[in-house]
Amino acid sequence: MSYLELRGVTKDFGGLRAVDNLSFEVEQGEIFGIIGPNGSGKTTCFNLINGFYPLTGGEIHFRGRRIDGLPPHRICELGIARTFQVVKPLRRMTVLENVMAGAFLRESRVAAARRRAREVLEFCGLAHRADVEAKSLTIADRKRLEIARALATQPEVLLLDETAAGLNPRECEEAIALIQRIRQSGVTVVVVEHVMKVIMGISDRVLAINFGREIARGTPGEIARHPEVIRAYLGEAHA
Amino acid sequence: MGRKKWLLAAGVLVALVFPLGLRVPYHQHILIMILVWATLGNAWNLLGGYAGQASFGHAAFFGLGAYSAGLLVHHLGISPWWGMLLGPPVATAFALPIGLVCFRLRGPYFALATLALGEIFRLVFTNWVAFTNGARGILILPEFTRKLPYYYIMLAIFALSLVMVRVMVNSKLGYYFVSIREDQDAAEALGIPATRYKLYALLPSAFITGLVGAFYMNYVAFIDPHVVFSLGDVSVMIILVVMMGGVATLWGPAVGAAIYLALSEAFRARFGAVSLLPFGVLVCLVILFMPNGVMGEAARLGKRLAGRREGWGGEPA
Ligand SMILES: Nc1ncnc2c1ncn2[C@@H]1O[C@H](COP(=O)(O)OP(=O)(O)O)[C@@H](O)[C@H]1O
Ligand SMILES: [Mg+2]
């Protein structure tokens, strides 16, 4: 039985096929990378796993249970949390309150949720911003907040959508270190990036997609050398 | 927080004793109406302020509460005080399907749907003459000739609503309400069942609004559909009261109601029949220049002075 599995998943937006018969499995405990150029369907993939959109075709299974068709809050409850590429801070709440909003999934009492949220903030290196309103965070801290809030729901699987995009090299390094810490804590991670460099450094296995279709899969090294991947990223001339 | 407790104790004492000193019944009447609007504001604030679902149809729940009391007298000859028991559950029962329908919509669409539903109730209660006595309304004999008993009853209802809001927003519910208001997609991705929690805000909101409606029937002793189901004089007025006082602040509705009634009385005394125009302009100005309401701005100011924050959208809860 596979851990998290997409089987022939397809998503149409009107006439546009954003995800096209995509199948892959994520194994428990790994960092699974998905790369692809802009508009290749990565975010849509997360929106399908997370239950924001209904599937046009295919199935999604998690721990032997079919999860497509469930609403987003149920999917989170089952243990799959996500971040958003376009960050969605709860603007007029403090950083701590944002993370508490996640923590309440497993802790009904305010004091317990607050304690849990503080731990997560500490883990994510955001503790010093706890009492700041989320709308006044820098972009790097907003990305951290996305992760912290998702972690506060105590997920088994964390879907990270372009965490490194828009970060400077130092912030990028910190993000990578954080993702590795998350995996060490026992959470399975699916990382989406269109920046190859980042994903290649941390992923155990990588899936490359273009136009919503798989073009290659393998270890980071295999993917980096794959002619289809090079063509997708650099255009025909460089293949 | 010792100071806060003293302040509260002093406030309670004043609220209990102050009306005894008023000689003019009309002044007591104004106090009662402030409590009416403060309580309606508390109820609206739960849904519209904290959970961010701006209802333009709260007159429906107010009217249902009022008619629950009125129709008991009209059809069964039972004391309208029983309406205080019947009104809240009736309003809540109607709120459930209304919520299930309207919460499929977001933002302005939700607002428009509630507005339309509120109007439907007004039309039904106007035209279903056999049951509601139509536009002629319902007239009852008031229980008390003095204002004071009504004042204390309404004070108790106000206190109940205040405690209810406070307990709710300081619990997990409050965090979930505000999360949904700030970003529903993010909230759902964090495992928050948005529709269910919107109902958790709406149902108590409708309950309290229905209770105030039932009280209103008892107190004013005359209702008709155009008064209690009014879009302008109930649904929108609740929103103005809360906006003036401070959306999503615990004391905002009370402060807003006091200011609103004080101002509207002052303008009526000064300008007579044309008072509506300058009064409307003033309300617009307050809302334009104090977008967070009086309590919201006060909290922001206090926060800047103290360098900390205590509540939602700028307020100590
Ligand atoms: N809600 C939507 N409605 C219509 N088209 C969409 C929607 N979401 C994504 N798309 C389209 O689907 C394709 C894939 O988008 P996306 O998954 O965001 O790509 P990526 O995350 O890989 O950059 C794009 O062509 C995009 O315009
Ligand atoms: Mg994307």
ipTM for the whole predicted complex goes beyond 0.90? yes
Given 3-state DSSP classes, what are the helix, strand and coil percentages for chain A, each rounded to the nearest 5? 40, 25, 35
Section A173-177 average pLDDT: 92
The values of phi and psi at residue B71, to 5°, are -75, -25
Contact B138, B68 (CB under 8 A): no
* Rounded distance from Cα A233 to ligand 1 centre (Å): 18
Give me the residue from A91, A131, A153 closest to B182, CB to CB: A91
Question: Are the CB atoms for A65 and A80 separated by under 8 Å?
Answer: no
Q: Say how many residues make up chain A.
A: 239
Q: Is residue B253 part of a domain?
A: no
Does the distance separating the beta carbons of B194 and A73 come in below 8 Å? yes
- Contact criterion met (CB < 8 Å) for B179 and A92: no
- Flag whether B312 is in a domain: no
> Which pLDDT belongs to residue B114?
94
Q: Which of B170, B179, B308 sits opposite A90 (nearest CB)?
A: B179
Contact yes or no for A110 and B189 at CB 8 A = no
Report the interhelical angle of B237-245 vs B293-306 (nearest 10°).
Answer: 20
Average pLDDT over every residue of A83-88: 95
Interface test with B, best of A74, A92, A137 (most B CBs within 10 A): A92
Residues of A with Cβ-Cβ distance to B308 under 8 angstroms: 131
Contact of A30 with chain B, judged by CB distance below 8 Å, is answered with no
B154 is in which domain, residue-wise?
Answer: 25-229
Q: Measured between alpha carbons, how far is residue B78 from residues B75, B83, B209 in Å? A: 8, 9, 22
Q: What is the pLDDT of residue B314?
A: 43
**Model pLDDT, residue B317:** 39
Q: Number of CB pairs < 8 Å for A and B?
A: 88
What residues pair up with A10 in beta bridges, in sequence order? Answer: A57
Q: Which of B182, B184, B300, B310 to mutate to test the interface with A (most CBs of A within 10 A)?
A: B182
Considering the domain boundaries, does residue B93 fall inside one?
Answer: yes
Alpha carbon of B184 to ligand 2 centroid (Å): 19
Q: What is the pTM of this model?
A: 0.92
Buried b (16+ CB within 10 A) or exposed e, B16-34: eeebeebeeeeebbbbbbb
Average the pLDDT over A138-154 and give the result. 96
What was the pLDDT predicted at B315? 42
Reported confidence tier of residue A2, pLDDT bands at 50, 70, 90: confident
- Cα–Cα dist A157/A2, whole Å: 13
Nearest CA to ligand 1 atom 9: A44
For residue B205, is it within any domain? yes
> A132 with A94: CB under 8 angstroms?
yes
Question: What's the number of domains chain B is made of?
Answer: 1
Q: Is residue B154 part of a domain?
A: yes
DSSP string, chain B: -HHHHHHHHHHHHHHHHGGGG---HHHHHHHHHHHHHHHHHHHHIIIIIIS----S-THHHHHHHHHHHHHIIIII---GGGHHHHHHHHHHHHHHHHHHHHTTS-HHHHHHHHHHHHHHHHHHHHH-HHHH-GGG-EE---S-SSSHHHHHHHHHHHHHHHHHHHHHHTSHHHHHHHHHHH-HHHHHHTT--HHHHHHHHHHHHHHHHHHHHHHHHHHH-EE-HHHHT-IIIIIIHHHHHHHHH-TT-SSHHHHHHHHHHHHHHHHHHHHGGGGHHHHHHHHHHHHHH-TTHHHHHHHHHHHHHHT---STTS---
Q: Is residue B123 assigned to a domain?
A: yes
SS3 state at A150: helix
User: What pLDDT does residue B293 have?
Assistant: 83
The pLDDT of residue B273 is 66
Q: For ligand 1, which residues put their CB under 6 angstroms from it?
A: A 13, 16, 18, 36, 38-44
Query: Would residue B9 count as lying in a domain?
Result: no
**Which tens digits make up the pLDDT trace of A156-171?**
999 999 998 889 999 9
Q: Which domains does chain A have, with CATH numbers?
A: 1-75+172-239 (3.40.50.300), 80-154 (no CATH)
> Which ligand lies nearest the alpha carbon of A86?
2
What long-range pairs does B156-162 form, CB within 8 A, spacing at least 24? B157/B35, B157/B39, B157/B208, B157/B211, B157/B212, B157/B215, B158/B35, B158/B38, B158/B39, B158/B42, B158/B254, B160/B208, B161/B39, B161/B42, B161/B43, B161/B208, B162/B42, B162/B250, B162/B254
What pLDDT, on the 0 to 100 scale, is given for residue B311? 53
The reply to whether B258 falls in a domain is: no
A-chain CB neighbours of B188 within 8 Å are: 71-73, 76
Q: Which class for B287: exposed (0-12), middle (13-18), buried (19 or more C-beta within 10 A)?
A: middle
Do B253 and B317 touch, CB atoms closer than 8 A? Answer: no
User: How does pLDDT run along chain B (317 residues), one tens digit per residue?
Assistant: 588 889 889 989 988 988 888 888 889 999 999 999 999 999 999 999 999 999 999 999 999 999 999 999 889 988 889 999 999 999 999 999 999 999 999 888 999 999 999 999 999 999 999 999 998 999 888 888 888 999 999 999 999 999 999 999 999 999 999 999 999 999 999 999 999 999 999 999 999 999 999 999 999 999 999 999 999 889 999 999 999 999 999 999 999 999 989 888 888 777 776 666 777 777 777 777 777 788 888 887 877 766 554 456 544 33
Asked if residues A220 and A33 have their Cβ atoms less than 8 Å apart, the reply is yes
Contact A90 B182 (CB under 8 A): yes
Q: How far is CA B132 from CA B65, B75, B97, B139, B187, in A?
A: 13, 9, 22, 12, 42
Considering only CB atoms, B192 lies closest to which of A50, A73, A109, namely A73
